[in-house]
Chain A
Amino acid sequence: MASMIIVRKAAISFGKEKVLKNIDLDVNEGEIFGLLGPSGSGKTTLVKMITGILEGDQGEIFIKDQKVPSLELMKSIGYMAQSDALYQELTAKENLEFIAAIYGLKRQERKKAIQEVLEIVDLTDHMDKVVKDFSGGMKRRLSLAASLMHKPDLLILDEPTVGIDPVLRQSIWSELRKLKNNGMTILVTTHVMDEAEKCDRLAMLRDGYIIACDTPEKLKENQKVDSLEEAFLAYGRNEK
């Protein structure tokens, strides 16, 4: 299978703190890839490096065989940050219109795209509401919608379902699966184990290294445990 993302020997430090030490990672085209790791392990840092906002001290990152960072690549990446990046004074629709215009969508496409993404995140009824008045989960969903606007080849989601109820989380995951089936590659960071379970493959990030990378089933099998949680803890112990 062709690779969508290739990370080679990536390292980054903030001041004296070495956050990522030596990261190698391959994400295949058309899979949902999960990045799992405790708080502060550098998940956000790594995905920012992959989008090209942050640059590491060492190593290289390629997306579709093009070197990151590249403005050209950014056209085909959708990024949803961990904290909602929305204009509080604008309505949901206006926020999406802005992002659509930034990605250069034509007026006609824009309207259609907005309708589509709002349906995916179930916000069609609230599109004329000012974001300031949104609940936390609604903002999260709108952020997701904003990252889908331009139908990216690669979707990068940093903890997308925080603050979203189980029912909606289910429906968002089924939408993600649909997007995947249409050929989108999805990289998602998460804390939630049952969400990690839904990924095609998973990487576990710890102490600046990827300590394991495989399908959820294989990860459990290798450690001879029943749940991902246990697998994760087991890998962590082995590392020490």
Chain B
Amino acid sequence: MRVGAVVIRIIRQLLRDKRSIALLIFAPLLVITLVWLVLDGDPYEPKIAAENIPAPLEQVLQNELEKDVVQMSESEAKEAFQKEDLDAFITIKNHVPYVLLEGSDPTANSAVMKVIQTAFSSLSDQKNIQPDVEYYYGSDKINLFDQTGSVLIGFFVFFFVFVLGGISFLRERTQGTLEKLLSTPIKRWEIVTGYLLGFGLFTIIQSFVIVTYCVYVLDIWMAGDFWQLLVVTFLLAITALALATLLSAFANNELQIMQFIPIVIIPQAFFSGIFNLETLAEWLQVLSKFMPLTYGADAIQEIMIKGKDLVDLWQDLLILFGFALLFYVLNIFALKKHRRL
């Protein structure tokens, strides 16, 4: 079986190329860890200032914060915001509690809101009073980490598989082995299939390591099933691989593969849910519908954050599979450039 021969050859090649395996598996781990260190870290301890608040409220706030609430006026608080040494200011305006958030840092915002919500709910007589919340900088739309963590897995899997897959297929061309292969009776589909399977095996390992690491070591929020997450990650990786081999037909050297990153990869990152899309122009939202990462990231997010099953996500999976299939077929056609048969 010629496909089998291609698969075995690719596995042998990759096993000899330790750096590439490292890039495929450990680079994503490293980057995700870095992001995790920055975004997750220890629970944030917010600094809150207050003016003229009732003693019971001050008491519960102090209990929550495990330190004193600083007393300052609203204008002093605003000055402190500018110097970035205060996260929130609380006072009573027109008999309603009023909260002014510094607002630029999502981590701090949510930490403050958590403290304040707990404080209010522990004041039994104040149960149905909701504070007015305003932002000094930014708005409550900033809510980065909630969405990012899970999407990052999808993104980095996509990114590294794309780079490595693209370069290896390109090398097949530049070192002349593709031409040699095409002088044999191998069929074009056998080359493409062998390539996807051989490389695919490594992306299974890659997906497994990354997902395990994120879930069990980084302890990322994971409401869904581990194996289902793995299926989605792998499907996404195969799509990235098929896209990479396809695009490598349009590159003449490694540097030109890199040039696809800002054109093909970065936009997908922007439009795939790392950032909130609802505020974007409509045509930009439409654009995201043509990007495989949109569906992969969405499925990963639904599994990890909402604990959904693959069955609930059949649409995402079907579209992702459709992308992979499309790229696969286009690959076979792209090889026609090198041999018609």
Q: Does B201 touch A at the CB level, under 8 Å?
A: no
Within 8 Å CB of A193, what residues of B?
Answer: none
Interface residues of A (CB under 8 A from B): 51-53, 55, 69-72, 74-75, 77, 79, 81, 83-90, 94, 98-99, 101-104, 130, 146
**A53 and B179 contacting across the interface, CB-CB below 8 Å:** yes
**B177 and A130 contacting across the interface, CB-CB below 8 Å:** no
**A94 and B12 contacting across the interface, CB-CB below 8 Å:** yes
16 contacts between A and B (CB under 8 A): A52-B341, A53-B339, A69-B341, A71-B187, A71-B341, A79-B180, A81-B176, A83-B176, A87-B13, A89-B13, A90-B13, A94-B9, A98-B5, A102-B185, A102-B186, A103-B184
Q: Type the 1/0 row for B174-213, where 1 means its CB is closer than 8 Å to any CB of A.
A: 0111011111111100000000000000000000000000
Q: Does B16 touch A at the CB level, under 8 Å?
A: yes
**A101 and B176 contacting across the interface, CB-CB below 8 Å:** no
Within 8 Å CB of A52, what residues of B?
Answer: 183, 339, 341
Q: Does B114 touch A at the CB level, under 8 Å?
A: no
Minimum CB–CB distance from B197 to chain A (whole Å) comes to 14
Known contacts A89-B16, A90-B12; is-contact A77 B2 (Cβ 8 Å): no
Within 8 Å CB of A85, what residues of B?
Answer: 175-177, 179-181
Interface residues of B (CB under 8 A from A): 2, 4-6, 8-9, 12-13, 16-17, 175-177, 179-187, 338-341
Minimum CB–CB distance from A43 to chain B (whole Å) comes to 15
Known contacts A53-B339, A85-B175, A94-B12; is-contact A101 B185 (Cβ 8 Å): no
Closest 8 CB pairs of A and B: A85-B180, A101-B5, A85-B176, A79-B183, A89-B16, A74-B185, A89-B13, A98-B9
**B340 and A87 contacting across the interface, CB-CB below 8 Å:** no
**B2 and A89 contacting across the interface, CB-CB below 8 Å:** no
Within 8 Å CB of B9, what residues of A?
Answer: 87, 90, 94, 98
Within 8 Å CB of B13, what residues of A?
Answer: 87, 89-90
Within 8 Å CB of B340, what residues of A?
Answer: 55, 69
Q: A74-B184, A81-B183, A85-B181 are in contact. List 10 more A-B contacts (CB 8 A).
A: A52-B341, A74-B185, A81-B176, A83-B176, A85-B179, A90-B9, A90-B12, A90-B13, A102-B5, A102-B184
A94, B11: Cα distance in complex, Å: 12
A77, B180: Cα distance in complex, Å: 12
Minimum CB–CB distance from B260 to chain A (whole Å) comes to 24
